[in-house]
Structure 1
Amino acid sequence: MHQVCSYKPHLMVGDQSYPAYELRNLVNYLKKHFGRSAAAQLCRDIGVTETELVHSQFVYVWQVDYAMTYLQNVSNDAEVGVKAASDYKVADLGFLLSYLAKFNTLGECLEFVIAHPELVGSFSDIFLRNEEGALKVRWLNTNKLETDKYSCQFQHSIGSLMTFAEELTGEKVQAKEIILAEPKRQTEFLASRTGANIQFDGQFFEWSIEQKFLMLPITFSFENVDLTPEISLAQSYITDVLAVLRECAPQLPSMESMAVTQEISTRTLRRRLSAAGTNYQKLIDQVRCQMAVNLILSSEHSIEAISDLMGFGDISHFRQSFKHWIGHPPGHFHRLHQGESKATNKD
């Protein structure tokens, strides 16, 4: 990993593509621990059969998101995300195997994962830092999910990365530190599975790994698995709408204007977005939040200037909006990521 720090707006929602192996894993975990009826009910809820799932390369983000929430509700276990992830096998990765087979070290594999959320799936924007001999990965809850749900997704991501890392390298791979933005609770399985020092009441969810682990060579024998040819993604409706919004930013069109652009009625636009698992205001918030975060982290503009650049007539409105998106006001957010000395005049 060569970057000192970088912001990655990775959040994927609704009908955007997500690798099917993750949903297969969750369904299999349900069958194994909660019975076939629980797994069958989940499949009915998200409109997919197990037979279809076996032959699928991609599913929708909303289906995986629903499955994670369903698993939480069935298990009533705050650690179920990392427990489910521990059942993964590298051979289950399908088309991703063709990509991973090209790399020589664990760090190269992780770089690919971070650089290609469209292929590996992502529930979160992330902020990366190389610090004190470790890579630190901070999750930003730009989708404003409830803490327990976001924590489950966060733990599932760490658990799957650790599980795959150990099979790819044949070595015991450990996280250095995991910070949870929630009150202290039992995390025995998370600590045991990752080997990390667990901290609570953080301002963000974050995990880190020492660079020495990223230098481990890949020893997994790809000759023993079927390498599916690399495939291209089907474009989603939400992806198309987000592309228009980002092109128009910072002057984002109203729903009525977007409907006119697409030559459909406002009602049809609302219905299509709902069917895709989201709504127009959420997409507006996502684009504005990601733009604001990028400006704060990558520019020398003051908060006042960023507010103007984004088209806010009142800086207090911008501050309120940013706190609604991220959970912190813009000046405080900047200090958390850049340090006190670089945050001068940004409040």
Structure 2
Amino acid sequence: MKEVTVPARKFLRLLDYLQHLGLDADAIAACVGLSISRVEALDPGDPLSGRQYSALYKEAVTQMQTLKQPLPWGAGVGSEAFALMCHCMISERTLGEALTMASRFEKMLYPMIGHRVAIDVHGEEARLSYQIKFTERGAALAPEHWDRADYQDTVAKASGLLVWRALCGWFVGECLEVTQVEVAAPFVNSAYHDSMTAKFGAPVEFDTAENQFRFPAAQLTRRIVHTTESLCEFLDNSVYQLILIDREPSSTSAAIKSLISIDLATGLPSFTDVARQLHMSESSLRRRLQHESTTYQQLKDEVRCQVAVDKLLNEDTKVAELSDYLGFTEPSSFVRSFKNWTGETPRSYRDKIQSLGGGQS
């Protein structure tokens, strides 16, 4: 298991975009412990914490919302409207019911949030469509001289479909099996087309009449396997969670890790408890995990790694306290495990991340 990282160039692209919007990129970076000059000094391909990128994106969205414009990127992920919509969806029983609720929510708020989702069924095929009321070039969230200005419509529409596919998979704990993707925006280039095809795992067509993806209607009957508590954990780190889904499609494993995270402070849940919360028999759950080439023990270790990183960076937790919190019998055992997860000791890992902030020597 390796820590999920994001190259420094993605941090710089986001910060550059914020500067083009006229926002204080230095202040936004400082809110999550980053110094722009220190990130600029890195090689563009240098790996940085995926969780720190998620925190930066969330802070960026918070500031973008002050411009009082529809948020066009990624279906509005990170915004208050996106979070409220997800809370409406989580109370439903099946994916189909959850998407119907989302459609009602966004239809009502479309004049304010600028985007909406709809679900239609045609025989054995379901179609999820995503509309975005994009601002004109040069407007508040579409700066004239931004390097993506020439193909911003394509990025906005395609990224919205990607987020919706990932979100559906997260809700049901299984990857949504898309059969066709249609992007109602211009073709950019072959590299972008190939990237979208790989991410969706399905043929992608541009310049279409509808912005949508198609999938078997039977998938709408899948049960929602998450809870309000696991949704809150997802929304706290939504971009990080979507990075995980992008690299490893949604699975039962993802649902289990959310449930483990909820109960970690009071002890790890038993396998029986997890099966009950996912509405499965223990034998069915074991088969699911075997199909995903993992075990319950591996999932517990992955969660402990994520929690360890978060607490080291954001709460300045001492190693001994963190070892006890995560259920290790000795701090030395925790240090060995952490080094196996990240390649570094807890102290060296924290020092490396904090060196990217403005107050370090």
TM range (shorter): 0.3 to 0.5
TM-score, structure 2 length as denominator? 0.39
TM-score, structure 1 length as denominator? 0.40
